[in-house]
Amino acid sequence: MKIGRQILFYFQKKIIIIIDFFQPNYKTMYYEEYKLNYDFTTKRLIVKEWHSFEPKELDQPDLVNIVEEMLVPEVTRRFPVMWRGSYDKKRAKFWIQERDSESKTLLAVEKETQKPLGYINFFREGDPSHGTFLRLGYLVSRVMWNNGLATELVEGFISWCKENNISTVLARVDPDNIASIRVLEKNNFLTETTDANGISLLFVYDI
């Protein structure tokens, strides 16, 4: 996937967002001009900027430990090659620094247990004078798979988009990533196209 094939612009001051399930990163520009409230909740989840949680709000208050426990090989196997495999504290710290240097990351915490169980991440690419291109990815901890939390997290994000004047959400997914495809379909995303190289599918949600 090349950025040259993805140029998106403002339409009536609404933002277009791209969801990418950890495709290779490109040079990005952090968007300080967006002073939005990124917090949202769902039936089971509290979602906030991952550095904004108070220690009393988490059963594990150390973000490095959270990331180390979350990024197991089964979870990272769809990451870019350099980020696959197991994580220790040193690698988890570097992962956090890398995300902070290029993007906004929100941690999802289970209300009842205060257990961190996943995150969503988004960033902008391109020249802001020519429009805005935001890309978003998400993951859920391996121990929390198969209970609808990923679907609930994306649903909550869609609700946040509606409240913040976002116009369209796009998702690029590997065709063999059946779990992520099901999450999108449950949230009423529509399949639009397949990349010319056949590597990824494009899903669209018009808000």
Give residue limits of the domains in the chain: 10-206
pLDDT band for position 90 (50/70/90)?
very high
- pTM, whole model, 2 decimals? 0.79
Q: Using the predicted structure, report yes or no on whether residue 23 has a pLDDT greater than 70.
A: no
Q: Using the predicted structure, report yes or no on whether residue 177 has a pLDDT greater than 90.
A: no
Q: Using the predicted structure, report yes or no on whether residue 70 has a pLDDT greater than 50.
A: yes
SS (H, E, C) the chain: CCHHHCCCCCECCEEEEEEECCCCCCCCECCCCCCCCCCEECCCEEEEECCCCCHHHCCCCCHHHHHHHHCCHHHHCCCCHHHCCCCCHHHHHHHHHHHHHHCEEEEEEECCCCCEEEEEEEEEECCHHHCCEEEEEEEECHHHCCCCHHHHHHHHHHHHHHHCCEEEEEEEECCCCHHHHHHHHHCCCEEEEECCCCCCEEEEEEC
- Mean pLDDT for the stretch of residues 107-133: 77
- CATH, domain range 10-206: 3.40.630.30
